């Protein structure tokens, strides 16, 4: 993750979701945003490497497939939406009815991304809304975010999306008892679909299912010998969590192995 290289131990209290790479240096190139498109023909024969129009790994062939992966043009719009999101913050449950966001794909990152969560309140109670300053009651708006495709398991078989704020602030809001700042990184498992990408942020036993560990000054994960990053509000407070299934577009764009 290019922008994390200069972080020091002062960030040990920050949030994460997911082990992002194998112990030591990664053997494989990171996955990237690509489009599955119709392959070219030589005479009457297609010369693509996939037989499925979703370019699934199981449909990969040496040659003769109808479909091929193509680079995504820089500036391609990137969208995100979900029907519901749940945050645990300082021991309280914040439920949001829906969210939507937009950004651009630039150099295989989702950049300039801002997400707006609507209908957010403690336990879904409209009388206890959670709100970002300057927005309607119950509306939480993130800071500008970046999304980077990554491997999120040691065997480098599961693709995922790592999302973080430019200043490692994910979002700031108030649920009626003072400002709350959620910081650092969220990581979700990604699945390519006909509509685009689905990224699942899950919680298990009160903690994020996917967690990340970075060594100071290192780009890759080293299990067992590194500093954990986790979602937090203020130093010493309980860890926060995020649970959501986000649909991301545009249609035809997925995250694929390089």
On the question of pLDDT at 213 being above 90, the answer is: no
Phi, psi of 4, deg, nearest 5: -100, -10
Measured distance CA(159)–CA(135) in Å, rounded: 34
Express each pLDDT in 116-169 by its tens digit.
999 999 999 999 999 999 999 999 999 999 999 988 877 888 888 988 888 778
On the question of pLDDT at 6 being above 70, the answer is: no
On the question of pLDDT at 106 being above 50, the answer is: yes
User: 231, 220 in Cβ contact below 8 A?
Assistant: no
Which one has a higher pLDDT value, 137 or 21?
137
Complete DSSP assignment for 109-149: EEEEEEEEEES-EETT-TTSB-B-TTS-TT-EEB--EEEEE
Beta-sheet pairing, 76-82 with 98-106: antiparallel
217 contacts: CB under 8 Å, gap ≥ 6: 5, 6
Measured distance CA(208)–CA(253) in Å, rounded: 27
Residue 68: CB atoms within 10 Å: 18
Instruction: Give the pLDDT score at 59.
Output: 92
Nearest to 247 by CA among 203, 207, 201: 201
Complete DSSP assignment for 159-201: EEEEEEEEEEEEEEEESSSSEEEEEEEEEEEEEEETTEEEEEE
Instruction: Give the pLDDT score at 206.
Output: 80
Lowest mean pLDDT across 27-31, 73-77, 129-133, 167-171:
27-31
Give the tokens for residue 188: 């979700």
pLDDT band at 67 (very low <50, low <70, confident <90, very high): very high
Phi, psi of 10, deg, nearest 5: -65, -15
Give the tokens for residue 29: 């190139």
Residue 5: CB atoms within 10 Å: 11
Q: Where are the domains of the chain?
A: 2-34+72-256
Express each pLDDT in 224-254 by its tens digit.
333 334 444 444 556 778 889 999 888 889 9
Lowest mean pLDDT across 10-14, 85-89, 174-178:
10-14
44-55 burial code (b ≥16 CB/10 A, e <16): eebebbbbeeeb
Instruction: Give the pLDDT score at 89.
Output: 83
Largest CA distance in the chain: 69
Instruction: Give the pLDDT score at 198.
Output: 93
On the question of pLDDT at 82 being above 80, the answer is: yes
Beta bridge partners of 127: none
On the question of pLDDT at 23 being above 50, the answer is: no
User: pTM of the full predicted structure?
Assistant: 0.79
pLDDT (mean) for 167-192:
86
pLDDT band at 27 (very low <50, low <70, confident <90, very high): low
Instruction: Give the pLDDT score at 194.
Output: 81
User: 94, 126 in Cβ contact below 8 A?
Assistant: no
pLDDT band at 19 (very low <50, low <70, confident <90, very high): very low
Q: What percent of the chain has pLDDT over 90?
A: 47
Instruction: Give the pLDDT score at 232.
Output: 42
Instruction: Give the pLDDT score at 184.
Output: 66
Q: Is the peptide bond before 178 cis (omega within 30 degrees of 0)?
A: no
């Amino acid at each position: 993750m290019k922008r994390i290289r200069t972080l020091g131990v002062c960030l040990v209290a920050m949030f994460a979701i997911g082990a992002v790479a194998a112990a030591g240096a990664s053997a494989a190139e990171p996955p990237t945003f690509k489009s599955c498109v119709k392959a070219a023909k030589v005479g009457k024969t297609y010369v693509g490497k996939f037989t499925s129009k979703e370019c699934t790994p199981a449909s990969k062939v040496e040659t003769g497939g109808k479909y091929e992966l193509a680079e995504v043009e820089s500036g391609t719009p990137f969208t995100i939406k979900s029907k519901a999101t749940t945050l645990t913050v300082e021991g309280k449950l914040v439920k949001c009815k829906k969210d939507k966001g937009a950004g651009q794909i630039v150099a295989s990152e989702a950049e300039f991304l801002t997400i707006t969560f609507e209908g957010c309140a403690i336990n879904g109670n409209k009388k206890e809304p959670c709100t970002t300053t300057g927005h309607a009651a119950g509306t939480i708006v993130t800071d500008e975010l970046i999304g980077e495709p990554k491997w999120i398991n040691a065997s480098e078989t599961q693709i995922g999306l790592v999302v973080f704020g430019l200043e490692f602030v994910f979002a700031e809001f108030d649920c009626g008892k003072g400002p709350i700042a959620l910081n650092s990184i969220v990581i979700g498992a990604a699945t390519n679909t006909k509509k685009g990408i689905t990224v699942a942020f899950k919680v298990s036993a009160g903690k994020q299912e996917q967690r990340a560990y970075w060594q100071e000054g290192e780009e890759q994960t080293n299990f067992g010998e590194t500093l954990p990053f986790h979602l937090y509000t203020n130093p010493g407070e309980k860890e926060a969590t995020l649970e959501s299934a986000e649909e991301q577009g545009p249609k035809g764009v997925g995250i694929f192995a390089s």
